[in-house]
Amino acid sequence: MIDIENSAVIKMFTEKVGIKERAEGSREGEVRAYTDAVLQIVKQEFGLRGMQEVEPRIRAIADGQKLASLITPALQATSVEAFKKALEQVL
């Protein structure tokens, strides 16, 4: 099981979000950073094909909190299908 609180991946994406937010100074920056983070995790966990399956739905989310809430399911899901179920709960 992944230690989410101490995960290097989570820390990296959290830093990325903070940097992009400051650089862009907007909610759009937060959304873009979380979108990128979730997609990168999904690609890492389930490959390019898995990422392509969920990318349109993830990119349609315009709420940073909703996107942030997908990081843990992306890391913990055992399949892209399991992640899709978590994604549906957010939508």
pLDDT tens, residue order, the chain (91 aa)? 455 556 676 666 666 666 555 555 577 778 888 999 999 999 999 999 999 999 999 999 999 899 999 999 999 999 999 999 999 998 8
pTM above 0.75, yes or no: no
Q: Which two tokens stand for residue 28?
A: 């759009």
Give CA–CA dist 84/22, Å, rounded. 31
The string of DSSP letters for 30-78 reads HHHHHHHHHHHHHHHHHHHHHHHHHHHHHHT---HHHHHTTHHHHHH-S
Question: Cβ atoms within 10 A of the Cβ of 54, count?
Answer: 20
Q: Which two tokens stand for residue 41?
A: 């995790």
